[in-house]
């Protein structure tokens, strides 16, 4: 849920539990909706769904209208309630690079 508009929701979904959790069949999507509008798939700035596991989408409580999501080895940020995304320069290293995050903590610093 957006910190600037409680009627705006952003979530991650997959075709199946297997494609959500297993790299061999990875295929994850990000969806967004505001008020009673239909759910819309968001693609702008995010990796292609095929081959991607997006395990976490988190709203910032400090930066109004800002969301973060994690994929395998990358973090993305949206400052417009999930419409457009930008990959951040944060990279996981070593064996963690190909792993999937299941939670995310967002600091205020």
The per-residue pLDDT for range 88-103, each reduced to its tens digit, is 887 666 555 455 555 5
Q: Using one digit for the tens of pLDDT, what is the confidence trace for 17-46?
A: 877 776 787 888 899 999 989 999 999 999
pLDDT for position 41 = 93
Residue 10 near residue 31, CB atoms below 8 Å: yes
Decide: pTM greater than 0.85. no
Q: What is the mean pLDDT of the chain?
A: 82
pLDDT of residue 4: 77
Of 5-9, 44-48, 71-75, 91-95, least confident by mean pLDDT is: 91-95
81 contacts 8 by C-beta, under 8 angstroms: yes
Measured at the CA of 27, the angle between CA 103 and CA 40, to 5 degrees, comes to 85
Backbone angles phi, psi at 58, to 5 degrees: -130, 140
Domain boundaries, the chain: 8-98
Which residues make Cβ contacts (< 8 Å) with residue 69, sequence separation at least 6? 12, 30, 46, 54, 56, 57, 58, 75, 76, 78, 85
- Radius of gyration for the alpha carbons in the chain, expressed in angstroms and rounded: 13
């Amino acid at each position: 849920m957006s910190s600037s508009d409680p009627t705006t929701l952003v979530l991650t979904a997959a075709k199946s539990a297997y494609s959500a959790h297993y790299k061999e069949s990875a295929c994850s999507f990000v969806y967004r909706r505001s008020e009673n509008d239909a759910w819309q798939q968001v693609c702008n700035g995010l990796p292609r769904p095929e081959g991607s596991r997006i395990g976490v989408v988190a709203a910032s409580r400090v930066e109004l209208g800002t969301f973060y999501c994690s994929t395998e080895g990358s973090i993305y940020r949206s400052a417009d309630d999930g419409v457009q995304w930008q990959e951040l320069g944060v990279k996981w290293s070593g064996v963690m690079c190909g792993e999937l995050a299941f939670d995310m903590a967002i600091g205020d610093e």
